[in-house]
Structure 1
Amino acid sequence: MTKDFRPTDYILESMQTGKKFEDAGWTLDAPNEEKPALIRAIYNKKQINVKDNSMGIYKFSDWLPISKTLDGSSAPATYKSEGLAKYLGLNNLYITYSGYWPEKGANFRTCSFKETEAYAVCGRLDNNNKILVVASAGNTARAFARVCSDNNIPLLLCVPEDNLNALWFGEPIKENVKLVATKSGSDYFDAIHLSNIACQLDEFIAEGGAKNVARRDGMACTVNSAVTEIGKIPDYYFQAVGSGTGAIAAWEANLRFIEDGRFGKNKMKLMVSQNTPFLPMYDAWKKDSREILPLDDNMARKQVEEIVAKVLSNRKPPYSITGGLYDAMKDAGGDVLKATNEEALEAAKIFEETEGNDIHPAAAVAVATLINYAKEGKLDKEACVMLNITGGGEERFKREKEVVYLKPSHVFDINPDLSEVKKVMDKLFQL
């Protein structure tokens, strides 16, 4: 923690009513409002002052709702593409890379932009001695485990058993981090359900997902990086989405930059993508439906098994909620696109050949949709395009370092009861 860091000055605002209120420390919802809605951080500093790279993600602390900084973070790296840009015939393609690519200045030790969330959320966390609970399909769990282990923050992770291969690390994880899983055949939604049961116990506190302003504003550092590096707000924003939280964050950052006044007044078109056949947001958007269309649980689990980008598997994303992805896209413009497993694998190969580093399957889905969109002639070659590479460098990281895996302390059935969860937690955390 930086000793001379002063907590960021901000207030919170309801996206439903516009009512402004103070952050009580871990506020996830607007007080005394019945209809669910996201809340937003309104920062005292309207013009961002980007600090030194040595501060990692906290170089953007003017627009992070934090009370402290933590050790070990890296900011995303934005650079102007040459190889992929030439392949696509684009003159202003910028890549924002959150992963392991030291030569570009990207030093994400978990190789995922989920680190931006973890460092922001844990920087907001006050010292209330409660155990933070995070549900994840993989990358988020890896990021929070690394950050909480390094900074001695008690953490409970809930992850589907089939996704445990995502829990790899360059150094061992300390005992303050505990991992539990939902049995094989379960998915991210089942892990969320388990985390909700744990949060009924007094000793635990929910991380909050998209409702946590620190999570969204941490992810917004990808756009903070791009806009301040390019010198203007891009015309297009490409990203693959599981929950859509990163795209909501991008929209919110865009609005802050408009208010900043130095980077333009345009709104980036949000070009978000999903992995076929799991397409809940794609299907809803194409029908212009605010609500996610009904999908049988077992069918959803089967579709999740089929997709190569497992992290894009949220069955109940913050799409419909006021201030969520539907509202973001209606305001900013854009489209929901899709890519098959084969298209994503081909796109990953093209990216590595043209740019020189490997990328995660979710990022490959975004690249695949950008390739398709450009090849269909839908992008002006002079358009300023931001491609958010949400994870990469993992293959290189694993070649260069010896990795260890975090094993679950307990595997639960898909729908455990509270007493069983309590018994396991009492034992794990010696409550």
Structure 2
Amino acid sequence: MRIGYLLPDPGIGIFGSKGASVHAQEMIRAFRALGHEVTVFCTKRGDRHGDPSTVSVPADLTDLPVFVLPVSGVKGAAAREAAVVGVAVRMAELAVEGDFDLLYERYSLFSTAGADARRRGGAPLVLEVNAPLLSEQKVHRSLHDESAAERATRESFAQADLLSCVSAPVAGWARQVLADDAGTDDRTPRVRVTPNGVDPARFTSPRPDRQHPSGAAPSQPAVTIGFLGTLKPWHGTDLLLRAFALILGEEPEPRLRIIGGGPERLRLESLSAELGIGERVEFTGPVSPAQVPQLLADLDIATAPYPAPSNEAEHYFSPLKVYEYLAAGLPVIASALGELPQLLDGRGEAVGTPEDGDPAAAMSAGITVPPGDPEALAEAMRDLIGDSSRRAEMGAAGRRLVEREHSWVMRAQSVLAQVPTQKVAQR
């Protein structure tokens, strides 16, 4: 099957370093692994348009056909929004000319690229929805023409054959948008939850020294705690620093590595100095997806310390970093939000039940703590720092879990199983 992958979001480069770039690359890899041909239409290759230093093309994607329609040279929200609309029109034209068997679009404000191409060319459309962008944009960024954004969202949702949503809260939001728009069409798209995943083959086995029992030789390296992700306020990295300050000075003395860059870096570095932990904290800055497996292999404990939202529905993420932590064989400490308790604590089918008499199949892959609580986070870190056997057991359980249930190929298979296999009547 020939798949046209549409990425009209001007904030995401197909070969950039953001989690969204990783997500796009992994779904493309999965489609290709299943034997499909993929062509990409996007607004930029790297994190910044025209800056080759922000482009990191993985070796296995060097042959990927990529067509760039830039959103560049514009200033202000109004001009940027209008530019996205124009790019989406051209992207739809190219998608129709490509005569694809399937269109797969990452939902973006102001884009109806997939909907226009679907209506004109008849190829089935999967719309991947990773966030309730209308509300998110108003809270965290600027939104000039709200009514145009709403119209584009409703049109894209109505034309899609499948809305593939990253979490249950996002799926609920998508269903509400469709319900509010009821009566404008004679059909309702399918809505399904497709959480993030991971390619376990990209990640190495745990370091041998993680397997040492408690009380290992003095030459054993200091325990390194890590965080991976873009440094944004809603990732809770400041909470991690405060929790780390509570355990510094205890034996064995740990280290903290913050992997990734972002707008919060200077504030977080200042906070580290203020807390007196600067010498024990390393900020790597931005890293390419290709660097991530080795950087995780050098950790002993991984964290996802999300702050407390005003309500549970606000935590609509399916944290990509957590799946990568698990694939790297790392024990995880995460805030008890969204899917994370079920994924990590051994509750429900997400972690699995013993198979073939193997009780280890249902072992916990991590620890969850109350969100926004640095004291609880510090206590969980203490527990794992002092128990290397438990770290090794959790890491092994997490690795088994993602191999069994959470690969990107499994995600792609489940999405493709939900869409028509032939072109459909135009509407």
Whether TM exceeds 0.5 here: the answer is no
Shorter chain as denominator, the TM-score bin is: under 0.3
Higher relative contact order (CA 8 A, sep 6+): 1
TM-score for the superposition, normalised by structure 1: 0.28
Larger Rg: 2
TM-score for the superposition, normalised by structure 2: 0.28
Kindly indicate which of the two structures has a greater share of residues assigned to helix: 2
